[in-house]
Chain A
Amino acid sequence: MNKELSLRQIAYMFVFISISPIIRQLPRALASEAGRSAYISPFWSAIAMILITAIVLGLLKAFPGFNLYEIMLQLAGTFFTKIIILGYLLWIMLSLVAKINIYSHTLQFTLMPQTRSNFFLITLIVLVSYALLRGIKTVFRFSEFTLGTILVLFIILFLCALPKVRPDYLLPVSTIHLMDTVRASKSILAVGGNIIIVLFLADKLGISITTKQKRRVWIGVLIFILLNFFITLFTIGITGASLTANLPFPFYITVKSISFFNILERFEVIVTLICTLSDFIAICIFTILTIRCLEWLFQLKEKSFLYAPLITIIYYLTFYVSKTQFEFEFLYQNVILYINLIFQYAIPILLGLLCLIKGKKIKKQY
């Protein structure tokens, strides 16, 4: 069995690709729905995250060395599997196009407002092609090695921001807002559901998965929840809930006001860099998943001929999906978020249930 990746690498990659939505979209989405009590939402989302992670790990245990497609073939049969994989393919392509869009919008909003989005798209295509030429492992190793540094940078940022946090922006939190915080947690779930990527790459993990590796996945989920909590807390605590809800990139504006003992300033450039790196890795991963879905759907043995037509489709689709940041925000909040919940939670939960029902039959096969 080809053991190309480890569960630890995938867990760290999950945290890494989650960073950009956590710092760019979530504080705004949470503040607009739950106001000053928004920082409680990550704890509600933890419940669903624990459930989906347990399902993913359960499926890995029940089907060692099998990927999502092979698991589905065992549980749902060829016809339904092909339909679901087609759905996943369309969803991943939409996510990929959305990611590329928001990547160029972020760069335009922060560092290069005069540059046209075409420039970012072309440079991105070149960079992603180069990264993927080096192999899938390079992408995972990059996120594994960079994540530690980024987390340390966040800890330094939080320590610097601590004196600026205003308790009156965060308190009091009343039980009346409790339901708002629960409702707002759907935005976090739509990002955290990316943990199902583990299933897409499960055949590269090998047959035996140790308890230590499973613990890494749980640590990844914990980091995701804590990062969410602290970033929302600091953004609302410094900028205020109403301003956070109305700014396009509130964490970026919040970081602008932070300094390290009045000596070091302008940390926002680091935030942009982190965001860009996270998006870049996410785009690489979604490209890999798109190719995998096509391989599964059409039973392909070779895939090198797919790159050129796929790049053409994805490049032009970015213009068709959304053109401005406002359009993207609308599309994300009203369409992509709910589609994410279906593909990241509903289908894996259904698979988990099928696995429980068909458990005995499946065991007989081994």
Chain B
Amino acid sequence: MIYLFAISIIYTLIKNKDQLLSAKRNLFLFLFLSVIGLALGIVTILNPYFPSIAMLLEKYMK
């Protein structure tokens, strides 16, 4: 899935090039969200059995 998401992000970057380059804010937001999304994906691939937030909370709240 990560490849699919990466391709869709690159496609969006090319398609909306003018919008993104017209304002620094747009480009920053796009890159910021893309990096977060892809980083989450990479961590999921590297460690698919990581404990979820709910599991961690359950462990520390009980």
Binding site for B on A (CB under 8 A): 118, 122, 294, 298-300, 302, 304-313, 315-317, 319-323, 327-328, 330-331, 334-335
- Which residues of B have CB within 8 Å of A299? 25
Instruction: Please give the distance in Å from A90's CB to the nearest CB on chain B.
Output: 13
Which residue of chain B is the closest to A318 with respect to CB atoms?
B52
23 CB-based A-B contacts, threshold 8 Å:
A294-B29, A299-B25, A302-B16, A304-B16, A305-B19, A306-B30, A306-B33, A309-B12, A309-B36, A311-B5, A312-B37, A312-B38, A312-B40, A315-B1, A315-B5, A315-B37, A316-B44, A320-B44, A320-B52, A323-B55, A328-B54, A331-B53, A335-B57
Known: A300-B26, A320-B53. A309 touches B34 (CB 8 A): yes
- Which residues of A have CB within 8 Å of B38? 312
Instruction: Please give the distance in Å from B14's CB to the nearest CB on chain A.
Output: 11
B57 contacts A334, C-beta separation under 8 Å: yes
Contact with A along B25-59 (1 / 0, CB 8 A): 11001100110111011001000001011110110
A330 contacts B58, C-beta separation under 8 Å: yes
- C-alpha gap A108/B35 in the complex (Å): 31
Supply 5 further A-B pairs (C-beta < 8 A) apart from A313-B36, A320-B40, A330-B54. A305-B16, A309-B34, A312-B33, A327-B54, A328-B54
- Which residues of A have CB within 8 Å of B54? 321-323, 327-328, 330-331
Please give me the 4 A-B residue pairs with the lowest Cβ-Cβ distance, nearest first: A312-B37, A309-B33, A316-B40, A327-B54
Which residue of chain B is the closest to A309 with respect to CB atoms?
B33
- Which residues of A have CB within 8 Å of B53? 320-322, 331
B57 contacts A331, C-beta separation under 8 Å: yes
A327 contacts B40, C-beta separation under 8 Å: no
Instruction: Please give the distance in Å from B50's CB to the nearest CB on chain A.
Output: 8
Instruction: Please give the distance in Å from A120's CB to the nearest CB on chain B.
Output: 13
- Which residues of A have CB within 8 Å of B19? 302, 304-305
- Which residues of A have CB within 8 Å of B11? 308
- C-alpha gap A335/B33 in the complex (Å): 25
- C-alpha gap A299/B29 in the complex (Å): 11
The dominant DSSP class at the A interface is helix
Which residue of chain A is the closest to B53 with respect to CB atoms?
A321
Q: How many residues of chain B have a CB within 8 Å of chain A? A: 30
Contact with A along B1-28 (1 / 0, CB 8 A): 1000100110111001001100001100
Instruction: Please give the distance in Å from B37's CB to the nearest CB on chain A.
Output: 3
Known: A118-B1, A320-B40, A321-B53. A313 touches B33 (CB 8 A): yes
* From A308, A317, A320, contact of B5 by CB (8 A): A308
A307 contacts B29, C-beta separation under 8 Å: no
* From A300, A328, A330, A331, contact of B29 by CB (8 A): A300
- Which residues of B have CB within 8 Å of A321? 52-54
Instruction: Please give the distance in Å from B28's CB to the nearest CB on chain A.
Output: 9
A313 contacts B30, C-beta separation under 8 Å: no
A311 contacts B8, C-beta separation under 8 Å: yes
* From A308, A316, A323, A331, contact of B41 by CB (8 A): A316
A298 contacts B40, C-beta separation under 8 Å: no
B30 contacts A309, C-beta separation under 8 Å: yes
Which residue of chain A is the closest to B49 with respect to CB atoms?
A323
Instruction: Please give the distance in Å from A249's CB to the nearest CB on chain B.
Output: 18
- Which residues of B have CB within 8 Å of A300? 25-26, 29
Instruction: Please give the distance in Å from B9's CB to the nearest CB on chain A.
Output: 5
Instruction: Please give the distance in Å from A309's CB to the nearest CB on chain B.
Output: 4
- Which residues of A have CB within 8 Å of B36? 309, 313
Which residue of chain A is the closest to B11 with respect to CB atoms?
A308
Which residue of chain A is the closest to B42 with respect to CB atoms?
A316
Which residue of chain A is the closest to B33 with respect to CB atoms?
A309
Instruction: Please give the distance in Å from A75's CB to the nearest CB on chain B.
Output: 25
B26 contacts A305, C-beta separation under 8 Å: yes
Instruction: Please give the distance in Å from A125's CB to the nearest CB on chain B.
Output: 10
A308 contacts B12, C-beta separation under 8 Å: yes
Which residue of chain B is the closest to A304 with respect to CB atoms?
B16
